[in-house]
Amino acid sequence: MSGVLYGLGLGPGDPNLVTIKAAAILRHVPVIVYVTPMRNDKPTVSLARSIATPHLIGEKKEISIPIVMVSDPTSGRQIYDEVSNEISGYLESGQNVAVLCEGDPLLYGSFMYVLDRLKDNHTVLTVPGVSSLSAAAAAANLPLVTRNQSLAIIPATLSEDEIKARLQVSGSAAILKLGPNITKVKKVLGDLGRLQRAIYIERASMEGEKVLPLSDAPDNAPYFSIILITNAETD
């Protein structure tokens, strides 16, 4: 019998936010796969692998996906083709495989590239995880949306004009993928007169978590940081 491919959401960083279902799968799955971001040709720490650590029992086969963070998707495509073939081999031999994902697997998660390549020929079970949006809102004790409001999710990697256009049609917004893009986002929010309402949350649920008014945030934010601009109606 073929194995099952799990897309395992492991939450935003705190291992206590791993769901009971994901923890149970982690204990027994023989093969785990995770993205290792490459920086200056060297592998950095995989956050998903770190979150999983206290939940793993015994020896596992580990497959790391070395991903260079560049906008050109060509090299990533080739790596995902190779890794998906390797995963397919384990599934066909009857072994279950879990792709470990920070946050939720289907919210800007790299699991979707493996899912897309393998879903037609294998059994796939996606286990949702606590997303960075929920963790950031919780860290700031900030209602995300109330009543008839809607929420835009905006990547800070977009151009200044595109971020502005999307914010102009959004009541509330979460801006992800900050890093050095935070300067651009601060400028746009300043131009729109929305800087005062913007909250910066760094490393939500992790050691070193910070919640600050965006005006006090650093000019080169870490990768695991997010901005929330909300306008809850709680009266």
Q: In 67-103, which positions are buried (b, 16+ CB within 10 angstroms) versus exposed (e)?
A: beeeeeeeebeeebeebbeebbebbeeebbbbbbbbb
Q: Which residue's CB comes closest to ligand SAM?
A: 103
Q: C-beta of 61: minimal distance to ligand SAM in Å?
A: 24
**Distance (Å, rounded) from C-alpha 61 to C-alpha 4?**
15
Out of 99, 188, 189, 204, the residue judged to bind ligand SAM by CB under 6 A = 204
The residue within the footprint of ligand SAM, chosen from 113, 205, 228, 229 (CB under 6 A), is: 205
Instruction: Kindly tell me which residue out of 3, 7, 109, 128 binds ligand SAM, with binding defined by CB under 6 A.
Output: 109
Least distance in angstroms from the C-beta of 225 to ligand SAM: 5
Residue (18 or 201) nearer to ligand SAM, CB: 201
**Nearest 5 degrees, angle CA 35-CA 17-CA 207?**
75
| x-or-dash string of contact with ligand SAM, 64-103, rule CB under 6 A | --------------------------------------xx
Residue pair 68/35 in contact (Cβ under 8 Å)? The answer is no
C-beta closer to ligand SAM: residue 32 or 204: 204
- Give the C-alpha separation, 113 to 57, whole Å: 27
Tokens of 97: 């495989």
**What is the separation, in whole angstroms, between the first and last Cα of the chain?**
57
Binding to ligand SAM, residues 11-70 (CB under 6 A):
12-13
Q: Which of 135, 137, 140, 144 binds ligand SAM (CB under 6 A)?
A: 135
Residue 33, phi then psi, degrees to nearest 5: -130, 140
Q: Which positions touch ligand SAM (CB under 6 A)?
A: 12-13, 102-104, 107-109, 131-132, 135-136, 176-178, 201, 203-206, 223-226
